[in-house]
């Protein structure tokens, strides 16, 4: 294939991709509206609108011409980047395009439709089963979903384990064996650390459940997100039942949060978390705009950004040295009698809990390991769906030292399985690991990092993240980014060391 023909083929794929991106952003806008301000009775037509857009996206993704062009450019499962003589950015584009095309074309329409219908019904059944604390009502639906996902895995194909194909949906190019390795390291150190903290005197965090008027929380949260670099002429903050970030365009990345008038942590730390996601999307290099490269490279890397800002920066002493006077000025009645050190310890209190979304920074990873082990066992058929409640209770007792008394606070607490999102959970914990490993390099590159944070200067950190992570979009895989930035493969050791130092100081344990 000569140079002109290759250029024409890539141009055709980029034009096709541009349409897919525009349709995807249109669907995201409708979904954002549904979650934030859509009238309740509009749901039926909204579902039809979204279904139509998803159908158009699928048609453009699996068009046979795309496959012919990829083949002509030398792309295959073994060589997704195509001809070695192509420019670097073209090869990065082809790798992601080939992956998307391969996954989409290997799933027949009837399987995709059946899975969509099943997840829609399962979510409704799950909501009722959770409210009634009745796992038996949900179990048959989960069993059918697992069988459908196993068919998905078989059709897509996997290198080692059937879980690989499901994990790849959320953490592209990572294998189950890699997650096993780092989670084994993490588990070995987290369990004894949680136990040691559990034996230490409790940290009082009761002041966080005083009265915090929502209007004042919103004003403070807005000031924080702008200080971190989130631009309100390129995004907006709204309220939703579950906080999220959504990309509607290169200059339109929106975030949401939720407010509790009697719990400080929920809104403010939720805003900081979502700002971390948004800054990633807003700072991808302009040359990748409008293409599939203009996204975060994986959910694990995305979580590294949100958790770095939320926990490593947002829950640091230095951060609150700058912001605490501003916070107490807004909430003098609730925090006027609380000094900075007491507040810092309170927002970092560790108490193993049953509910993942309420978990502290230390025990959170164990919640994810629990779910990962059960998902892997389901997919490999080493446990049955009916056995999940008891296995959940036993594993929770082993990892966290707490045991749910009901299925609603145990196996039924998360919506993910009813959505068919098996393979998603590991990305939450992987984000913590990537963040800590990146932070070691950041601290070496930016010796004044923490004095800058103490002074409320976040530009140097954002600039580093933009240059080393954000700007690359999806041109590099998570593993490539990790190695390029830190010189090593992903490891649990930096995150464990970070926790041991921070919480050893707070709780006097080692």
pLDDT digit string (tens) for 329-354?
999 999 999 999 999 999 999 999 99
Average pLDDT over residues 226-230: 98
DSSP secondary structure string for all residues of 290-329: TSTTSS-S-HHHHHHHHHIIIIIITTSHHHHHHHHHHHHH
Alpha-carbon gap, residue 159 to 165, rounded angstroms: 8
Alpha-carbon gap, residue 73 to 67, rounded angstroms: 10
Name the band, by pLDDT with cuts 50, 70 and 90, for residue 379.
Answer: very high
Name the band, by pLDDT with cuts 50, 70 and 90, for residue 357.
Answer: confident
- Mean predicted lDDT score pLDDT of the chain: 96
Average pLDDT over residues 120-135: 92
Q: What are the φ and ψ backbone dihedral angles of 170, each rounded to 5 degrees?
A: -110, -30
pLDDT at 459 over 90: yes
For residues 234 and 282, the answer to whether their CB atoms sit within 8 Å is: yes
Residue 340: Cβ-neighbour burial (10 angstroms; 0-12, 13-18, 19+)? middle
Beta pairing partners, 237:
255
pLDDT at 49 over 80: yes
pLDDT digit string (tens) for 263-307?
999 999 999 999 999 999 999 999 999 999 999 999 999 999 999
Question: Residue 379's closest CA among 172, 173, 168, 182?
Answer: 168
Alpha-carbon gap, residue 362 to 429, rounded angstroms: 11
Alpha-carbon gap, residue 277 to 58, rounded angstroms: 26
Q: What percent of the chain has pLDDT over 70?
A: 100
Residue 340 has, within 13 A of its CA and on its CB side, a CA count of 14
Whether the full predicted model's pTM is greater than 0.75, yes or no, is: yes
Name the band, by pLDDT with cuts 50, 70 and 90, for residue 48.
Answer: confident
Q: Which long-range contacts (CB under 8 A, 24 or more apart) does 84-90 make?
A: 86/6, 86/10, 88/475, 89/287, 89/288, 89/293, 89/475, 90/10
Which residues are catalytically annotated? 274
pLDDT at 44 over 90: no
Average pLDDT over residues 480-495: 98
Average pLDDT over residues 92-118: 93
Question: Residue 402's closest CA among 357, 346, 355, 347?
Answer: 355
pLDDT score of 399: 96
**Cα 465–Cα 423–Cα 185 angle in degrees, nearest 5:** 70
Name the band, by pLDDT with cuts 50, 70 and 90, for residue 260.
Answer: very high
pLDDT score of 280: 98
Strands (E), 1-94: none
pLDDT score of 358: 85
Alpha-carbon gap, residue 372 to 366, rounded angstroms: 10
pLDDT digit string (tens) for 424-456?
999 999 999 999 999 999 999 999 999 999 999
């Amino acid at each position: 294939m000569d140079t002109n023909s290759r250029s024409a083929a890539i141009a055709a794929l980029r034009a096709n991709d541009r349409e897919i991106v525009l349709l995807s952003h249109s669907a995201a806008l409708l979904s954002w509206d549904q979650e934030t301000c859509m009238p309740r009775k509009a749901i039926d037509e909204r579902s039809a609108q979204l279904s139509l857009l998803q159908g158009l996206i699928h048609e453009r993704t699996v068009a046979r011409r795309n496959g012919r062009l990829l083949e002509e450019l030398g792309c295959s499962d073994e060589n997704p980047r195509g001809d070695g003589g192509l420019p670097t950015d073209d090869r990065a584009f082809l790798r992601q395009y080939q992956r998307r095309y391969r996954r989409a074309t290997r799933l027949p329409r009837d399987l995709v439709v059946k899975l969509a219908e099943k997840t829609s019904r399962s979510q409704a059944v799950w909501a009722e089963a959770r409210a009634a604390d009745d796992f038996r009502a949900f179990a048959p639906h989960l069993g059918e979903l697992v069988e459908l996902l196993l068919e998905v895995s078989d059709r897509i194909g996997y290198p080692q384990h059937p879980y690989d194909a499901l994990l790849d949906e959320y953490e592209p190019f990572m294998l189950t064996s890699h997650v096993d390795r780092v989670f084994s390291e993490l588990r070995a150190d987290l369990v004894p650390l949680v136990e040691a903290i559990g034996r230490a005197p409790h940290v009082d965090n009761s002041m966080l459940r005083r009265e915090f008027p929502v209007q004042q929380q919103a004003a403070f949260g807005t000031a924080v997100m702008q200080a971190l670099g989130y631009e309100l002429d390129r995004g907006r903050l709204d309220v939703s039942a579950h906080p999220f970030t959504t990309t509607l365009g290169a200059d339109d990345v929106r975030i949401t949060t939720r407010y509790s008038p009697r719990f400080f942590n929920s809104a403010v730390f939720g805003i900081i978390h979502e700002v971390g996601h948004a800054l990633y999307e807003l700072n991808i290099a302009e040359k990748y705009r409008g293409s599939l490269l203009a996204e975060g490279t994986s959910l694990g890397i995305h979580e590294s950004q949100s958790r770095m800002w939320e926990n490593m920066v947002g829950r640091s002493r230095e951060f609150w040295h700058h912001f605490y006077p501003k916070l107490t000025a807004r909430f003098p009645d609730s925090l006027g009698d609380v000094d900075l050190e007491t507040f810092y310890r309170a927002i970092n209190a560790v108490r193993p809990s049953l509910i993942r979304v309420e978990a502290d920074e230390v025990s959170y990873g164990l919640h994810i390991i629990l779910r990962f082990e059960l998902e892997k066992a389901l997919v490999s058929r080493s446990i049955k769906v009916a056995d999940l409640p008891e296995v959940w209770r036993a594993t929770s007792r082993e990892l966290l030292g707490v045991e749910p008394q009901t299925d609603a606070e145990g196996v039924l607490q998360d919506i993910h399985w009813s959505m068919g999102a098996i393979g998603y959970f590991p990305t939450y914990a992987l984000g913590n690991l990537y963040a800590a490993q990146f932070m070691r390099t950041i601290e070496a590159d930016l010796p004044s990092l923490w004095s800058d944070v103490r002074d409320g200067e976040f530009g140097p950190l954002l600039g580093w993240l933009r240059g080393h992570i954000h700007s690359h979009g999806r041109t590099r895989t998570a593993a490539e980014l990790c190695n390029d930035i830190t010189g090593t493969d992903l490891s649990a050791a930096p995150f464990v060391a970070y926790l041991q130092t921070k919480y050893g100081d707070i709780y006097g344990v080692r």
